[in-house]
Amino acid sequence: MMFNSLTFITSLTLISSTMLALTSTSWVCVWMMMELNLMSFIPILMSSNQNMETEASIKYFLVQALGSAMLLLASYSIYFTSNLSSFLNLILMLALLLKLGSFPAFFWFPSVMASINWTSSLILSTWQKIAPITLISMILTYNSQQTFALIAGMNSLIGGIMGMNQTNLRKLLAYSSINHMGWMMSMLYINMPMFCMMYFSLYVMLVLPIFYILICSSTMKQSSNMLNKSKELQLTMIILLLSLAGLPPLTGFLPKLCVMILLMDFNTPLLMVLILGSLMTLYFYLMLAISILNMNSMNYTQSTPKTHYLIPMLNIVSLIYIPIIMFIYALTMFH
């Protein structure tokens, strides 16, 4: 009962602090809410009391404390001077990029992801990114906007190149997240924050079922043999991973197609870099899909009822490409 109450309180604080940070009217309030968010996420990271998760919690705390210190410095400077200069804007950008796990401060993100459980990884990859990326889009200026071309390209290349050398699934998903961050940042480069948030929403929609399968696998008995005992889960996992990689005509190709249409008239070299990084991501996801197909299926058993009813829903998530793409394409044309 005590553990359930603590989990409920920390989860409620985590959600409310993010929402309050997005609706704050001053940077000092934003800093306070980000600190509250940090303090509520640390207990979730340490929920299993394992040595690896304790180490990851310390890494996460130190990195986020550095970002908070930079954010506090810029917040009080803006409060006393009532002016957002280019130097203060740069400090704010670096602080938020550090909290986001984006280039040039991406180094901590894969390391922390590799040491925590799947539930914490899901929160870190989705909910913890909402406040920083939204706040970045709110303080865009023309001078800072130009730097997002470099940030977007480097995120895409780093996520693709580093992901090809990984065998740890958590690190692979972390570098895939960095690669997708490059596509989101390209929308900030052309001053379209709404399309950036739309891309992020579709990314969350794709990673949620993947993490759900992995969370269920880690909580079931004999979880290490779960995938090679269920052909349905193998097929579902492959479809979801290829959709996340952006393989057409799956849903994951939809946001990338929209970015390519919008970016084509602004910066063709950046678009080529993004496509190159996406091809690297597709390569290591294809390798992962092939390894799943090569799993031993001799011990095949029927899926549990819960998984049996969930599998068609998960497949639909990655196959609703056609109706959505017509709507998004119409939005891009009218924009």
Chunked into runs of 10 residues, the chain (335 residues) has average pLDDT values of 65 90 86 91 79 84 92 81 73 90 90 89 92 86 75 92 86 93 90 86 87 74 52 79 85 85 84 92 89 61 47 55 48 47
Residue 79 neighbours by CB under 8 Å, 6+ apart: 26, 27, 28
Contact 106, 98 (CB under 8 A): no
Neighbours of 73 (CB within 10 A): 15
Query: What count of other Cβ atoms lies within 10 Å of the Cβ of residue 234?
Result: 19
Residue 113 to residue 211: CA distance in whole angstroms: 13
The end-to-end CA distance of the chain, in Å, is 52
The number of angstroms, rounded, from the C-alpha of 162 to the middle of its chain's C-alpha atoms is 16
Dihedral angle, C-alpha 15, 17, 22, 25, nearest 10 °? 150
The count of domains in the chain is 1
Contact 274, 264 (CB under 8 A): no
Placement of tokens 């609703």 in the chain = 320
DSSP 300: -
Distance CA 164, CA 310 (A): 31
Amino acid at 61: F
Q: Is 55 exposed, middle or buried (0-12, 13-18, 19+ CB in 10 A)?
A: middle
What residue numbers bound the domain in which 61 lies? 2-334
Instruction: Let me know how long the chain is.
Output: 335
Please report, as a single letter, which amino acid is at residue 136.
I
Report in angstroms the alpha-carbon separations of 331 from 194, 203, 256, 272.
11, 19, 15, 23
Residue 218 · residue 165 · CB < 8 Å: no
Q: Which two tokens stand for residue 3?
A: 């553990």
CA angle 233, 318, 116 (to 5 degrees): 60
Residue pair 187/152 in contact by the 8 Å Cβ criterion: no
pLDDT score for 297: 47
Its pTM stands at 0.86
Structure tokens at 173: 């998903």
Question: How far apart, in whole angstroms, are the C-alpha atoms of residue 247 and residue 167?
Answer: 21
Residue type, 250: L
Q: Are 178 and 102 in contact (CB under 8 A)?
A: yes
Helices 305-317 and 231-245 pack at an angle, to 10 degrees, of 30
How much helix, strand and coil, in percent to the nearest 5, is found in the chain?
Answer: 80, 0, 20
- The label of the residue with tokens 């670096």 reads 94
